[in-house]
Amino acid sequence: MRIFIVGGTGFIGSHLIPRLLQDGHTVRVLVRSPGKASQLPAGTGVVAGDPTMPGHWRNEVRNAEAIINLAGFNIFARWTAKNKHLIRDSRILSTRNIVEAIVPDITPAQTLINASAVGYYGGNGDADKNEDALAGDDFLARVCVDWEKEAFKACHKGTRVITTRFGIVLGRGGGALTKMLPAFRLGIAGRLGSGRQWFSWIHVDDLVALFPFFLDHPEIAGAVNCCAPHPVRNVDFTKTLGRVLRRPTILPVPRLVVEAALGELGTVVLDGARMVPGVLIKHRFPFRYPDLDSALQEIVHP
């Protein structure tokens, strides 16, 4: 299959592209600079361009059988007015430019897999959030809602659209865990705030396996919660990671300290959603790491 990836040079893309090449797909990736191209595996096609701007790169959209859009400015930066603008525009504009480039019926089996996030649900307490749950109303939730709306416009062009609401992605060499491990290894980590907020997560290997799974299951469309079937509270995540590392986790970080350090982003960290993968369970996706202990053991002690 001919696959075009936007936003493929980040943590998820670095794991996804080798898997797609191994499966025999033809992969072309949009990059902003030659330096990024040098990071890609041998056999990857390279296309230069800025996904937030129209350009010749959009010809690749018309030629692809599947488009995977992972583009988006990192949310784990202090949410200044400038960064909030970048968070929103990098997602909305890249998706809009992709959808506008789709020509109806040029590739009848065309699929768009567009990233989204657990932030769609906002901080919504203890209730299970399957794909039918209502969206939240904070900044990140509103970004996700508008992001998905842009993607679903492709449905009117005959394209199958899947919006992948990622949980926190855990793996080696990047992602959230890389930022956490130094403090945990020093034994100076602990729960955040009350520790009762939910932590919806997925091992990067399971996340990567979802993309070929979607390509092999044309009946799947719409929003999909991309997370492990067993979310945990922050306090349980903290205890599990400490146990796997054999380090103490007895230094809680008070809510006021988190909010002072992270600003508005701190609210997202302290008020998680209990996302559950209803669609994946229905379609019997074979999780390799359904529970947190097995996932962390593989990452920390490969």
Residue range 145-175, pLDDT digits in tens: 999 999 999 999 999 999 999 999 999 988 8
Q: Domain limits of the chain? A: 2-169+202-227+274-288
DSSP state of 194: T
- Number of C-beta neighbours around residue 136 at 10 A: 21
- Number of C-beta neighbours around residue 163 at 10 A: 26
CA distances to 45, 246, 256, 273, 279 from 69, in Å: 16, 38, 36, 24, 20
Amino acid, single-letter form, for residue 134: L
pLDDT of 212 strictly over 80:
yes
pLDDT of 217 strictly over 80:
yes
> What does the pLDDT look like over 42-83, one tens digit per residue?
999 999 999 999 999 999 999 999 999 999 999 988 899 999
Alpha-carbon span 39 to 63, nearest angstrom:
24
Say what the pLDDT of residue 258 is.
83
Name the CATH topology of 2-169+202-227+274-288.
Rossmann fold (3.40.50)
Alpha-carbon span 10 to 30, nearest angstrom:
12
DSSP state of 131: T
Residues 6+ apart with CB under 8 A from 250: 190
Q: What percent of the chain has pLDDT over 70?
A: 98
Q: In what order do the strands lie in the sheet with 26-31?
A: 45-48, 26-31, 2-6, 66-69, 111-117, 160-166, 222-226
CA distances to 12, 117, 234 from 230, in Å: 21, 17, 13
Alpha-carbon span 144 to 165, nearest angstrom:
9
Nearest to 1 by CA among 33, 29, 27: 27
Q: Is 18 helix (H, G, I), strand (E, B) or coil?
A: helix
Mean pLDDT lowest for which of 74-88, 204-218, 227-241, 248-262? Answer: 248-262
pLDDT of 109 strictly over 70:
no
